[in-house]
């Protein structure tokens, strides 16, 4: 019997600049075989994927997008530490072939590391369309690393890339010293002397390659200094003194910091490479991105187009999403009807129907709307329009002392506030970061969307899409007003300088869009089986107990009276009249059952809680049921809908639109529904977001300030809406 051959496992790290197509290639390689988490000790997103190719098990790591390995941002530190300390078998640097000079800076830094490096010249078709021809063989020869052309969004060259990576991983040859960047004589002398000094005095191995360590010490890399201090203790002081001697010598020689000089020399090296390997066609090429930008970023028509796109997004989310919503709603109602028919009356049946299905079912029907919303966000990101939206908002953001880059986390807040707040790490100024964090929760995350769809669809029907759009715009406007207020009081100071990078437009891949959409929607589904299920059960328990209630009347006796009174009418009626009589009887019985259910809810533990906090919400038109729903929304905003589903569930829960019909029959009006939506838009965020604010600001003070300020603004805005509407005679 032949022996089973185990496939060799290879770890491949994907590095590259932002907008280089790195994530597209990662998605092409791994498909849906991905897992997303955080890097150990930090909250930067970590993507891993696995795939079996060409007889090997490949573990693919998508490193954070960076422009260099200089440890200025957390993303750069994470990317560099992974390459240095986890020692992947191969590092593939995804290079934007249409912007080779910028991309080669990271490439030269990777070449200085002791690792196997492979360059992927991505977006080769875009470079060609711009009249740029790159000699890949010459580039490979000069840099002494393998080079492969790829077109990520067309899945071209990916297999060749993996084959070369597998071959490189299996290569036994040592890293060539030819690969090292050659600096000017003065710097090379300092590197050589410092390298020799370290080798003579330190017997134990340092964490990193000696030459690279010497370079980083000359560049005053604080992380490398700290690692050396931890590794060799007091002996590091002697090394640091020698480093300072060389840094002073270079400062005197160049009249500039060594790190600046070395950066300039790397760019000089890159300029030489470009002259050797790049040829430009004299034929003028049409730059599609620039031509499109003449319209989409135009100061007169760009902003109205942006508003139109956002309106189309929400209109489509509501209108197109309403059809699959009805299908899922019918499925939930069918399941409820089946269980109602076959399960005997018991506490378990009540829990299953009025707790789990009424709670979770009332939320899961909004999955199509969530999918559509995330699809639009993925399209904006993958086409490059997201950066244009930030560019358009740059002038408006300057009104509050921020710049367009701060609008990107705010736009991400339409999906989820947690990654949106984490995205503020890309902002250089700490004041900008905290200010952006404080105003980001005013963006309507996807968890609030089901609440808007339920209430707007119930009370505003045909105008629901427009109402939802205006709710989102209100959030943006209030965030700008808040930002202006904070900038002139709490965060005084000059605006940080900023240059907005506009990546080229690209046709998004269907596969990439689906992966991005599904990755974000999975969070929504996970909540179904987790926090929303638990929340629904807790709400049901508080609503179902105590079991023994003293009702204001004997409802069963009243129902029997109705049945008796209608019996006499049947005897002398024809078939048509009998149907009308039956309808009248059922309507009267339903009214009594709803009254019984309402009284039971009011006298339950949940009713007691609601009645206690109701006076706070009464001035903004929200009854005790809405008050309780808002209270549960602190855990997760989706629970607001599940709580309403439990508290407002009709006896005929198996009928289509049962919750909507019950809401319409309740005391809630269009005005109070609008007030409730405004309150949901603005009040304190969910537990996960609050925890993220605490972690990212590093301050309990700012976290508590965010909770108090947001909730106060929410109450004040809802009060103005409701009381103002009443004065104007609106209902």
Residues 562 and 583 in one domain: yes
In a domain, 626, yes or no: no
**Backbone torsion region of residue 255, taken as left when φ is above 0, otherwise alpha when ψ lies between -120 and 50, otherwise beta:** left
Phi and psi angles of residue 16, each rounded to the nearest 5 degrees, phi first:
160, 165
User: So what's the pLDDT on residue 223?
Assistant: 81
Question: Do 324 and 426 fall within a single domain?
Answer: yes
Mark whether 563 and 434 lie in a shared domain: no
Tell me the per-residue pLDDT of 219-253, one tens digit each, with 9 for 90 and over. 888 888 888 887 777 777 888 888 889 888 888 87
Average pLDDT, the chain: 80
For residues 106 and 193, membership in a common domain is answered with no
**Token code pair at residue 25:** 């290639």
Whether 337 and 658 have beta carbons less than 8 Å apart is answered as: no
Can you state the angle between helices 670-682 and 700-727, rounded to 10 degrees?
160
Q: Is residue 356 part of a domain?
A: yes
Domain of residue 96, CATH code: 3.40.50.300
- Is pTM beyond 0.75? Reply is no
One domain, residues 137 and 262: no
Query: Is 646 within a domain?
Result: no
Q: Same structural domain for residues 173 and 210?
A: no
For residues 193 and 154, membership in a common domain is answered with no
Task: Please give the structure tokens belonging to residue 97.
Answer: 């072939």
Q: Could you tell me which residues come within 8 angstroms of residue 305 by beta carbon, excluding any fewer than 6 positions away?
A: 295, 296
Domain that holds residue 96: 8-179
Report if residue 223 sits inside a domain: yes
Count the neighbouring beta carbons within 10 Å of the beta carbon of residue 315: 15
Farthest-apart Cα atoms in the chain, separation: 115
Q: What is the model's pLDDT at position 43? A: 47
Asked if 692 contacts 698 with a C-beta cutoff of 8 angstroms, the reply is: no
Q: Give domain status of residue 216, yes or no.
A: yes
Taking alpha carbons only, the member of 353, 332, 362 closest to residue 451 is: 362
CATH number for the domain spanning 208: value is 1.10.287.1770
Q: Report residue 33's pLDDT band, with 50, 70 and 90 as the boundaries.
A: low
Per the structure, the count of domains in the chain is 4
271 and 136 housed in the same domain: no
Domain shared by 364 and 250, yes or no: no
How many residues are listed for the chain in this entry?
731
Euclidean distance between CA atoms 729 and 720, whole angstroms = 14
DSSP codes of every residue in 95-132: EEGGGHHHHHHHHHHHHTSSS-EEEEEE-HHHHHHTTE
Least Cα distance to 443 among 465, 464, 412 occurs for: 412
**pLDDT of the residue at 722:** 93
- 594-623 tens-digit pLDDT: 677 777 777 788 888 888 888 999 999 998
Inside any domain, residue 262:
yes
Domain for residue 727, yes or no? no
- In degrees rounded to 5, what are phi and psi of residue 98? -80, -5
Average pLDDT on 57-65 reads: 87
pLDDT value at residue 45: 66
pLDDT of residue 707: 92
> Mean per-residue pLDDT for 425-441?
81
The pLDDT of residue 650 is 46
Clarify whether residues 160 and 198 are in a common domain: no
Residue 651 in this model has a pLDDT that exceeds 60: no
pLDDT tens column, 540-561: 888 778 878 787 788 788 888 8
**Judgement on whether residues 443 and 314 belong to the same structural domain of the protein:** yes
The percentage of the chain sitting over the pLDDT mark of 90, rounded to a whole number, equals 8
Q: What are phi and psi of 222, to 5 degrees?
A: -65, -35
User: Residue with structure tokens 């340092």?
Assistant: 206
Q: Give the range among 94-103, 310-319, 504-513 with minimum mean pLDDT.
A: 504-513
Do 480 and 559 have their domain in common?
Answer: no
Residue 404 lies in a domain: yes
pLDDT tens-digit series, residues 693-703: 888 888 899 99
| Residue with more model confidence, 381 or 651 | 381
Higher pLDDT, 298 or 176: 298
Cα→Cα distances 629→14, 211, 644, Å = 45, 62, 6
């Amino acid at each position: 019997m032949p022996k089973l051959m185990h496939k060799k496992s290879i770890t491949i790290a994907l590095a590259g600049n932002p907008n280089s197509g790195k994530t597209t290639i990662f998605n092409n390689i791994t498909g849906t075989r991905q897992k997303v988490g955080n890097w150990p000790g930090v909250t930067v997103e970590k993507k891993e994927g696995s795939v079996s190719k060409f007889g090997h098990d490949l573990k693919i790591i998508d490193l954070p997008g960076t422009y260099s390995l200089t440890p200025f941002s957390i993303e750069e530190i994470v990317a560099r530490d992974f390459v240095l300390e986890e020692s992947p078998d191969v590092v593939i640097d995804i290079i934007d072939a249409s912007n080779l000079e910028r991309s080669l800076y990271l490439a030269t830094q990777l070449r200085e590391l002791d690792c196997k490096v492979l360059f992927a010249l991505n977006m080769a078709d875009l470079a060609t369309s711009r009249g740029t021809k790159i000699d890949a063989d010459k580039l490979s020869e000069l840099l002494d690393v393998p080079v492969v052309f790829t077109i990520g969004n067309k899945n071209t060259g990916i297999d060749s890339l993996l084959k070369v990576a597998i071959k490189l991983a299996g290569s036994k040859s040592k890293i060539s010293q030819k690969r090292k960047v050659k600096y000017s004589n003065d710097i090379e002398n300092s590197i050589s002397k410092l390298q020799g000094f370290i080798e003579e005095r330190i017997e134990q191995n340092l964490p990193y390659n000696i030459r690279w360590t010497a370079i980083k010490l000359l560049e005053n890399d604080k992380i490398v200094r700290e690692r050396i201090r931890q590794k060799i203790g007091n002996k590091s002081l002697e090394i640091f003194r020698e480093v300072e001697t060389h840094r002073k010598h270079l400062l005197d020689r160049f009249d500039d910091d060594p790190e600046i000089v070395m950066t300039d020399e790397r760019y000089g090296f890159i300029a030489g490479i470009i002259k050797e390997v790049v040829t430009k066609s004299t034929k003028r090429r049409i730059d599609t991105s620039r031509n499109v930008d003449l319209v989409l970023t135009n100061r007169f028509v760009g902003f109205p187009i942006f508003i139109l796109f956002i309106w189309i997004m929400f209109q489509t989310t509501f209108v197109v999403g309403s059809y699959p919503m009805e299908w899922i709603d019918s499925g939930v109602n069918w399941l409820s009807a089946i269980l109602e028919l076959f399960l005997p009356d018991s506490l378990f049946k009540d829990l299953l129907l009025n707790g789990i299905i009424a709670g979770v079912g009332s939320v899961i029907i909004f999955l199509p709307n969530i999918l559509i919303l995330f699809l639009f966000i993925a399209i904006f990101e993958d086409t490059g329009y997201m950066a244009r939206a930030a560019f358009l908002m740059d002038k408006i953001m300057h009104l509050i002392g921020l710049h367009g880059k701060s609008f990107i986390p705010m736009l991400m807040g339409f999906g989820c506030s947690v990654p949106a707040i984490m995205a503020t790490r890309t902002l250089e100024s700490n004041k900008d970061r905290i200010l952006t964090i404080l105003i980001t929760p005013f963006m309507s995350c996807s968890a609030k969307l089901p609440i808007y769809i339920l209430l707007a669809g119930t009370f505003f029907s045909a105008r629901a899409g427009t109402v939802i759009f205006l709710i989102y715009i209100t959030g943006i406007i209030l965030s700008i007003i808040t930002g202006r207020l904070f900038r002139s009081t709490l965060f005084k100071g000059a605006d940080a300088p900023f240059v907005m990078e506009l990546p080229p437009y690209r046709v998004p891949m269907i596969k990439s869009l689906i992966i991005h959409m599904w990755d974000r929607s999975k969070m929504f589904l996970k909540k179904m089986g987790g926090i929303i299920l638990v929340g629904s059960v807790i709400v049901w328990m508080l609503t179902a107990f105590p079991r023994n209630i003293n009702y204001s009347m004997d409802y069963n006796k009243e129902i029997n009276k109705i049945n008796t009174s209608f019996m006499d009418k049947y005897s002398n009626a024809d078939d048509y009249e009998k149907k009308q009589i039956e309808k009248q009887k059922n309507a009267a019985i339903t009214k009594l059952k709803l009254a019984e259910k309402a009284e039971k809810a009011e006298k339950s533990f949940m009713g007691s809680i609601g009645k206690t906090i109701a006076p706070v919400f009464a001035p903004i038109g929200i009854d005790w049921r809405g008050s309780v729903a808002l209270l549960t929304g602190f855990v997760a905003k989706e629970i607001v809908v599940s709580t309403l589903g439990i508290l407002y569930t009709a006896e005929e829960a198996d009928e289509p639109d049962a919750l909507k019909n019950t809401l319409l029959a309740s005391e809630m009006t269009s005005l109070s529904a609008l007030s409730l939506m405004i309150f949901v838009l603005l009040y304190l965020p969910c537990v996960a977001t609050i925890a993220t604010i605490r972690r990212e600001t590093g301050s309990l003070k700012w976290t508590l300030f965010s909770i108090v300020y947001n909730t106060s603004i929410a109450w004040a805005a809802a009060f103005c809406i409701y009381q103002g509407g009443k004065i104007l005679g609106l209902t």
